[in-house]
A and B are shown apart, each in its own frame.
Chain A
Amino acid sequence: MAATSKGPVAQALSSRWAKPAVFVLGLVPLGWMVWLGLSGGLGAEPVAEAVRQSGLWALRLLLVALAVTPLRILTGQAGLARFRRMIGLFAFFYALLHVSVYVGVDQFFDWAAVWKDIVKRPYITVGMGAFVILTALAATSTNGMVRRLGGRRWKALHKAVFVAGAAGCVHYVMLVKGWQYPPFVYAAIFLGLIALRYAKSPATGRLSPSYRT
């Protein structure tokens, strides 16, 4: 009613149903994996496939979260910003699932074997690094934590999401056998999203450090 000056997209983005809708969307990969698991769709090695799928979704959603700000600037849809935290938390959720299935199912809580993997296998070291960062960011994602840390410190801390994104991409590149292209597609998208942050703002024609977040 008050949105007479807003376009339909902006209206949809600010609707009170928008966040619940994004929440449900974020659960779709989980639902799909559960369905595959129950129907035998995870194939002959369901544990390995569950690890793979949860890891892929963690990386995909991390890239989606990193795309929010450039997309907001490019489209001028300020309303996009309020979904960023939820998407980032979903990325963390799938990373948690990824690590949980690896530790709890694949290795069956053999902590000694897991620890050996972390210190001996560079791709697991790097992946665990990404997971530790995402855990810290998820833990400080609440409004209360933003207040407690103060805006500037909070922002500085949350720039670590780029380190987590880079580590996630490297983790994927390192774990495949032979020369396979899919991990490089993810890495290229990640680099593209960084590059966009250094591009000129279409609105002002100036470099805009304000959206390098």
Chain B
Amino acid sequence: MSYLPLLGILVVIVGFVLRFNPLLVVTVAAFVTGLAAGFDFAAVLAALGKAFNDNRFVTVVYVVLPVIGLLERFGLQQRARALISGVKGATTGRLLLLYLALRQGLSALGLTSVAGHPQTVRPLVAPMAEAAAERQGAGDEDTREEVKAYAAATDNVGLFFGEDIFIAIASILLIKGTFETYGIVLAPLQLSVWAIPTAILAFLIHGTRLLLLDRRLKARAAAGQGREP
């Protein structure tokens, strides 16, 4: 077996580390890999084109952007902030914890596209989390960055460790299909019940980190006040 096709992985790692444009890195890596494995230029080009075309469904979710932008024009983010500033006891950590539970629960029911980065995180969750942080007294630039990053992270964790509880999700069907080629026959339900322990642990671990984030914000706010004259 030749190890040459692994050169493509090296291209990816070096390209990302040197911060070249990722589209360029990925394309070069694809050609290095394909040519190293003995395929000609046209074959690699065709494989790239076919897969790009087959995966358009990943990008089609942006049809929600016009309405999100339209509502931002009328102050949706400001409204999301105002709503949270009015809720007693609302903190960034608690708010994101609630969103984590919601996202994980919906995903476990197979409703993965109901929430997501364009449709819920940018217009609602991130501004709400920022407003909560401001209420906690931590509204500086670095904190805002961190809070927004946590909002996106919480969406991902909720999605990844909720969806496998649903029996008809692609990953469960892939496991079933893979094992069947070795003569191991499993029902989707057998697989999805074993996703539950990890789902609970993911909620506990990420939830703890969200509450620790609250603590950090509190400490930061206290330190910030100390500096004021």
Q: Do A and B bind each other?
A: no
